Amino acid sequence: MDLQHALNIAVPIAIEATDMMGRMFAIDEGDLHMEFKAEDGDTAVTIIDKTVGNFIVGKLAAQFPDHDVWDEDAATRIERGSPWQWNSDPVDGTRNLQFQIEQSVIGINLNYEGKAVLSIVGNPFEETLTYATKGGGAFVCDLDGKYPFRIRVDKDKAWNQKLFAIDSNFAPKAAPRKLKAIELISKHAQHMGSFGSNLYHWSLLAQGRAHYVLTDTVGGFWDIAAHLIVTEAGGKATGMSGNEPVPGCQAVFGSTGDDKNHEEILAELTKFYEGYKGFR
């Protein structure tokens, strides 16, 4: 399949979905109809997730009639037996809706035989799309789809200028290993941020605005597929085994791509995840 052709179709869908999510963001908490997923009891789903998710799934399913299409929050899975699978995350950072923190994004990715080959992160508050295709490089454009420019990770910052982004789920089982991870990576980056959206974190790393990312308590591949944007921007992303992230990975570490530094941190991180199989 021509990935550039797929991207040309997916970008307008992502732009419209990003705009839709941004416009709905100001809904009062009482009107969000917040529910919690049965798998874990702590992952929130709202009317915004479902509305935007149904829109994305409908558009992708119509444009790619031979592909599988999965959505995280609209609970829609169109199975066609294809090696090509689209994933939609209509609101990554749902808790930010509840708290009215404008750091949620949307995510769309395409996988071939379980590996990410196209990834898009739409940010309505920064009014940008960050995207990549396998072998095609990583880019940012505005929400008109105009003025795309190539992005690269930032390999040149000193320790006191580096940012480590970690996901914000500090449930009782997850907190101890995450606190150990923070202590470990504080030796490599002075600053730590947790912005409530894994996909936002991966886009920050790809844009050179963060330097390390740890995504833990992975709910699905949609949480980590934007690692493709990082690798296409010159960074590195691996599961705890050191391999490319694939569906089923429960923790993924990303860096600016210095192999020795990445492997040194990963070797220590792995100790915190011995025997960890998820979920949470």
Q: Which among 133, 132, 138 is positioned nearest to 151, based on CA atoms?
A: 138
Q: Is the pLDDT of residue 103 over 80?
A: yes
DSSP 244: P
* Single pTM value for the model: 0.93
pLDDT in tens, 41-69: 556 777 888 899 999 999 999 999 999 99
Helix axes 3-24, 47-63, angle to 10 degrees: 160
d(CA 216, CA 94): 16
pLDDT digits (tens, 9 = 90+) for 207-242: 999 999 999 877 778 889 999 999 999 999 999 989
> CA–CA distance from 145 to each of 171, 172, 264 (Å)?
38, 42, 39
Specify whether the CB–CB gap between 249 and 242 falls below 8 A: no
Q: How far apart are CA 244 and CA 223, in angstroms?
A: 14
**Is 30 a residue whose pLDDT tops 60?**
yes
DSSP letter at 222 equals G
User: 265 falls in which pLDDT band (50, 70, 90)?
Assistant: very high
Instruction: Output phi, psi for 85, to 5 deg.
Output: -135, 125
Q: What homologous superfamily is domain 3-150 in, according to CATH?
A: Fructose-1,6-Bisphosphatase, subunit A, domain 1 (3.30.540.10)
Please tell me the predicted confidence (pLDDT) of residue 189. 96
The residue behind tokens 């690692």 is: 227
Which range among 220-224, 259-263, 270-274 shows the weakest confidence by mean pLDDT?
220-224
* CATH fold of the domain at 159-272: D-Maltodextrin-Binding Protein; domain 2 (3.40.190)
Whether 82 and 125 have beta carbons less than 8 Å apart is answered as no
- Backbone φ, ψ for residue 238 (5° rounding): -140, 155
Residue 37 pLDDT > 70, yes or no?
A: no
Helices (H) and strands (E) in the chain, counts: 7, 15
The domain locations on the chain are 3-150, 159-272
DSSP, residue by residue, 174-197: THHHHHHHHHHHTTT-SEEE--S-
User: What mean pLDDT is predicted for residues 168-182?
Assistant: 90
Would you say the CATH fold of 159-272 matches that of 3-150? no
Cα separation of 138 and 257, whole Å? Answer: 15
